[in-house]
Amino acid sequence: MSAAETSPRRLLVVGLLALAASAMAYWWWSHRAPIDGSLVMQGNVEVRQVNLGFKVAGRIDRLLVDEGHTVGEGQILATLDKVYFEDSLAQLRAQRAQAAASLAKMEAGNRPEEIAQAEALVAEREATVLNTKITLDRAEHLLKTSTGTRKAYDDALAAQRQAEAQLNSVRQALSLMKIGFRNEDIDAARGQLAERDAVLQIAERQRDDAELRAPSAGVVLSRVREAGAIVAAGETVFVLSLTTPVYVRTYVSELDLGRIRPGQEVELATDGQGAKTIRGRVGFISTTAEFTPKTVETRELRTALVYRIRIVAEDPQGVLRQGMPITATLPGSVTNQRVSDEAK
């Protein structure tokens, strides 16, 4: 056999061996034994910050804390001048009292004395009608006997009709007074009172909002405004760093992703000498892969895909600071879920 015939066969054999080696490597990777040992990840501390401002506009009366002060949830940090809020409340309370009195009057109806007064007016109008009728009869008799004038008769007739109309008017008024106010009017008065209550409640809430309270425990990072300053609603007065929760953001490669699950215990350590280990737990694992950020130190290439991990740190002593480098160590655990499933 010549050397020319041997070379292609050698190439074919080498290719088959390489293909077999690749298949065995893939099989080993997908069916490899569980890896025990610690998983070390590098990350940074994330402390949430919030800009605090009043919900209402006004002049700052007092600032009760300064930069570096530790505050508790609900603690008053600053107050506005409340004189305008109190004046507005006094005006609204008076309007509310007026609306309440109007509704009470309608619901109670007319007083007996008012009804008696209307009845007396009806009696007066009835007497007037009787008198005008007598005058009309006399004028008619005189007109028939040619001793009276037509004008006198017409005047008496007009006066009698006017008196009857007035009598009918006061009788209707008396009937309305006995019936009382219309249900629609009472409902309108009740609605007006409800409106006054709502406006008064809003004003009271605005007065309460003149006190700036801490939404949660934290440390005052900066005091932006001073007492006496006029601030608009929502304008930043303090910047607060929340002490809880404290997160550590880190990244894990796809190769080690199977070793991590939410709720796992993690040991956190800072770079300082003699620093105590801080406990934490995995709180969030991203469902989307991303390229390794430049600030993350990993053993893989910078272009490797990683998954973002959020670790909730237990920091009762308050030693963690924003951006602080952290080494997160995950105790040894079973790596490959596929192996576990096959064992079942």
Sorted by where each begins, the domain ranges of the chain are: 35-46+244-343, 49-80+211-239, 88-204
Mean pLDDT of 40-65: 92
Place of tokens 């009709």: 161
Q: Quick check: 111 pLDDT over 50?
A: yes
Q: Quick check: 10 pLDDT over 50?
A: yes
CA angle 76, 78, 81 (to 5 degrees): 120
Please choose, from the candidates 269, 283, 274, 281, the residue with its C-alpha nearest in 3D space to the C-alpha of residue 320.
269
Mean pLDDT of 191-216: 95
How far apart CA 153 and CA 130 sit, in angstroms, is: 16
Structure tokens at 174: 């008396």
Under a CB-based contact definition with an 8 Å cutoff, are residues 31 and 338 in contact? yes
**pLDDT at position 338, please?**
38
What kind and span of H or E run contains 156?
A: helix 150-179
Q: Quick check: 110 pLDDT over 90?
A: no
Dump pLDDT digits (tens) for 296-334: 555 444 446 788 888 888 887 778 887 888 888 887 654
Under a CB-based contact definition with an 8 Å cutoff, are residues 236 and 53 in contact? yes
Burial 21-58 (b: 16+ CB within 10 A, else e): eeeeeeeeeeeeeebeeebebebebbbeeeebbbebeb
Mean pLDDT of 179-189: 85
Mean pLDDT of 266-287: 82
Average pLDDT of the residues of the chain: 82
Q: Quick check: 5 pLDDT over 50?
A: yes
How far apart CA 239 and CA 69 sit, in angstroms, is: 11
Under a CB-based contact definition with an 8 Å cutoff, are residues 191 and 112 in contact? no
pTM of the model: 0.59
Report residue 7 CA to chain centroid gap: 79
Multiple choice CATH, 35-46+244-343, 2.40.30.170, 1.10.357.10, 3.20.20.140, 3.40.50.300: 2.40.30.170
**pLDDT at position 37, please?**
65
**pLDDT at position 100, please?**
95
Q: Quick check: 213 pLDDT over 50?
A: yes
For residue 1, the one-letter residue type is M
Q: Quick check: 29 pLDDT over 60?
A: no
Dump pLDDT digits (tens) for 152-161: 888 889 999 9
Place of tokens 């994330």: 46
Structure tokens at 311: 């670790």
Q: Quick check: 33 pLDDT over 50?
A: no
How far apart CA 288 and CA 95 sit, in angstroms, is: 59
Neighbours of 211 (CB within 10 A): 16
Please choose, from the candidates 175, 130, 138, the residue with its C-alpha nearest in 3D space to the C-alpha of residue 156.
138
Mean pLDDT of 284-302: 63
CATH class of the domain comprising 49-80+211-239: mainly beta
